[in-house]
Structure 1
């Protein structure tokens, strides 16, 4: 699913605020992990009951090569790894000391991390990368994602129908309307889909099944716009 690249960086890792082991996690199934994470955060009262303060963010690009730092699956000291895609949850709390925070079950950064810290340390937009490593982010409102997302895990089988990575023990996730697989629509992310941060984009994120797409440098601006 991923491989390390020859990119250099350094930053400080602080202690987690929550125990990641208290949440369901299956390696290589980040889309299902974030689905269950959103459900659990709303169930235990960490987020709104309807998940309206949560957003699912898919990170990928046209080449399916996105570098992220501080990832547990990395074999490097700086935690750098190249994912084909990754999925995280961003929580918005207008009243809190930290208005936006990131929940990434695969990260060694604090759990959760302030959005600004996560962007600077895990995404590192200031680090110059080749065009094929540019990251684009699909932002989907969690209440919509929890109703519409579906995966029968076909993407994790090879041509002989063998598992590339062992699947979770629970049954595959089926959408409320009976759809059995639409993961490809979430992870197909490219430069052509990027939209400028505006009221129109916030409306798209809050209402469209597959949300809206921004660059790594637009992510914080989008959440500032969403919080108005």
Structure 2
């Protein structure tokens, strides 16, 4: 006999909204989820100086590694989990499992990921995107935009690339692969 779900459990389960190729907006939406707001949460931007970061276990890779210019996930604490709605391994995952399955330390040094870690509430208050990074020169979208309104006030300039640029100071802290691995293999927020 199949167990019926407790309606209270359904209320607590976060909605995993996903618009492919708009990971920053997917994470912004996830940050609003009532089931997660009582947990310490950090938004993690993954990129590097080359803006060419190989990742494994991604839906867009269709079984092969994909090279992202950047990727964005949510890190929650107690327990340490990564919420990556683009990951083929499911979500959430133990943070260290996600890290070990999605990145290979043997890639050439210029292509190793860096991680900009930003406290989730700060991110949700400050992030703005006009989605211009997804438009072609003729103004059409490279990939369909999300069904929800753009994030940030209509007169706010987009600051997405300031979050993505791991070579310049901005909000949060930028960590190497080794430093991020050390952080997520522990149990204390950094």
TM-score > 0.5 by shorter chain: yes
Shift of 1:110: 3.1
Instruction: Report matched runs for 1:47-126 at 5 Å.
Output: 47-48=37-38, 53-76=40-63, 79-93=64-78, 99-125=79-105
Question: How do residues 119-134 of structure 1 correspond to structure 2 at under 5 angstroms?
Answer: 119-125=99-105, 128-134=106-112
User: TM-score by structure 1 length?
Assistant: 0.71
Instruction: Give the Cα separation in 2 of the matches to 1:156 and 1:86.
Output: 14
Whether 1:25 and 2:18 are equivalent positions in the alignment is: yes
Runs of 4+ with deviation above 4 angstroms: none
Give 3-state SS (helix, strand or coil) of 1:63's partner: coil
Other-structure match for 1:200:
none
Give the aligned partner of residue 27 of structure 2.
34
How large is the Cα RMSD of the aligned pairs? 2.5
- What residue ranges of structure 2 are gaps of 5+ in the alignment? 1-9
| Superposed displacement of residue 85, structure 1 | 0.5
Change (3 A) 1:25 1:110: closer
* Matched residues, number: 178
Contact kept in structure 2, 1:173 and 1:180, CA below 8 Å: no
Normalized against structure 2, the TM-score is what? 0.84
Segments of structure 1 that go 5 or more residues without pairing to the other structure are: 1-17, 94-98, 194-208
> How far apart in 1 are the matches of 2:81 and 2:187?
15
Match of 1:168 among 143, 146, 153: 146
Which deviates further from its counterpart, 23-32 or 216-225? 216-225
Match of 2:160 among 163, 167, 183: 183
Q: Cα offset for 1:102?
A: 0.5
Matches within 5 A, 1:3-18: none
What's the secondary structure of 1:73's corresponding residue?
A: helix
